[in-house]
C-alpha cells in the first residue's frame, strides 16, 4: 500500500467528538461515495480514533448514517440509524439486528492532525 491510496479528508479538530460527520470520498470521480466518519476519543487519554463507514442506510435508502447516535454495545462500538434505529458495528459494518445486512467500511487513519480514508478507486483496482 502506498501513500497515494490515502485521501486526505479534513483536519481532525474539525470533527466533533463521539459523534458522526459526513464526507465525500472521490468527489467528482465515478467512484464518488458518501461516507460517515466517527471520531472516538479514549475516555482516559483523550486520544482520537477514526471509523469510516458508508453514509447510506440500507434500510431507509437515505444518506443518514453520519447523523446517527454513537453507541457501545458490549465491547463493540456501533451507530444507530436515525431513521429505523438499527445498529451497525463501526468495525465490521454488520447490522446487529440483521446479520445479512452490513455497511461498507473504509480503512482510515490520523496523521499530522489530518484525517485520511482509503479511496475505493484504488482498492477496487
Partner 1 sequence: MSVKQKILVIGNGMVGHKFLEAMTTHSDADKFEIATFCEEPRAAYDRVHLTDYFSGHSAEDLSLVEPDFFAQHNIRILLNDKAVSIDRKAKTVTSENGETLSYDKLVLATGSYPFVPPIPGHKRDNCFVYRTIEDMEAIRASAQGSSVGVVIGGGLLGLEAAKALKDLGLTTHVVEFAPRLMAVQVDDGGGAMLRQKIEDLGVQVHTGKNTQNIEDGDQHFHKMTFADGDIIETDVLLFSAGIRPQDTLAREFGLELGERGGIVVNDHCQTSDPDIYAIGECALSGGRIYGLVAPGYRMAQVTADHISNTGDNTFTGADMSTKLKLMGVDVASIGDAHGNTPDAKVYTYVDGSTEVYKKIVVNSDNNRLLGAVLVGDATDYGNLLQIVLNDIPLPEFPDALILPQRDGSGITGLGVEALPDGAQICSCNDVSKGDLCQFISDGATTLGDLKACSKAGTSCGGCNVLVGQVLNAELEKMGLEVNTDLCEHFPYTRQDLYNLVRVEKIKSFFDLIEKHGSGRGCDICKPTVASILASCWNDYVLEPEHAGLQDTNDRYLGNMQKNGTYSIVPRIPGGEITPEKLIVLGEVAKKYKLYSKITGGQRIDLFGARLEQLPEIWRLLIDAGFETGHAYGKALRTVKSCVGTSWCRYGQDDSVALALEVENRYKGLRSPHKLKSAVSGCTRECAEAQSKDFGIIATENGWNLYVGGNGGMRPRHADLFATDLDKETLIKYIDRFLMFYVRTADRLQRTSTWMDNMEGGLDYLREVVIEDSLGICEQLEAEMVEVIGSYQCEWKTTIEDEEKLRMFQPFINSEKGDSNVVFVEERGQIRPATSDEKRQGIKVVSL
- Work out whether 59 is an interface residue with partner 1 (CB under 8 A): no
**Shortest Å distance, C-beta 123 to partner 1:** 19
Cα distances (Å, whole numbers) of residue 4 to 10, 25, 74, 104: 16, 14, 36, 21
**Which of positions 69-108 make contact with partner 1 (CB under 8 A)?**
69-74, 77-78, 80, 82-83, 85, 87
- 3-state SS class at 70: strand
Cα-based torsion angle of the residue sequence 27, 31, 34, 38 in order, rounded to the nearest 10 degrees: -100
Instruction: Identify the bridge partners of residue 52 per DSSP, sorted by sequence position.
Output: 37, 106
**Shortest Å distance, C-beta 9 to partner 1:** 5
Q: What is the distance of C-alpha 43 from the center of its chain?
A: 20
- Work out whether 61 is an interface residue with partner 1 (CB under 8 A): yes
Q: What is the distance of C-alpha 56 from the center of its chain?
A: 11
Widest distance between CA atoms in the chain: 42
**Shortest Å distance, C-beta 62 to partner 1:** 4
**Shortest Å distance, C-beta 50 to partner 1:** 12
C-beta of 28 vs 125, nearer to partner 1: 28
Return residues touching partner 1 (CB under 8 A): 9-10, 14-19, 21-24, 27, 34, 37, 40, 43, 56, 60-64, 67-74, 77-78, 80, 82-83, 85, 87
Amino acid at each position: 500500500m502506498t501513500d497515494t491510496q490515502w485521501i486526505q479528508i479534513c483536519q481532525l479538530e474539525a470533527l466533533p467528538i463521539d459523534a458522526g460527520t459526513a464526507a465525500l470520498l472521490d468527489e467528482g470521480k465515478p467512484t464518488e461515495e458518501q461516507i460517515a466518519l466517527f471520531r472516538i476519543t479514549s475516555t482516559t487519554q483523550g486520544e482520537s480514533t477514526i471509523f469510516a463507514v458508508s453514509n447510506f442506510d440500507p434500510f431507509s435508502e437515505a444518506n443518514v448514517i453520519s447523523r446517527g447516535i454513537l453507541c457501545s454495545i458490549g465491547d463493540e462500538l456501533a451507530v444507530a440509524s436515525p431513521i429505523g434505529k438499527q445498529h451497525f458495528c463501526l468495525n465490521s459494518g454488520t447490522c446487529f439486528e440483521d446479520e445479512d445486512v452490513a455497511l461498507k467500511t473504509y480503512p482510515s487513519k490520523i496523521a499530522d492532525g489530518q484525517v485520511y480514508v482509503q479511496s475505493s478507486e484504488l482498492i477496487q483496482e
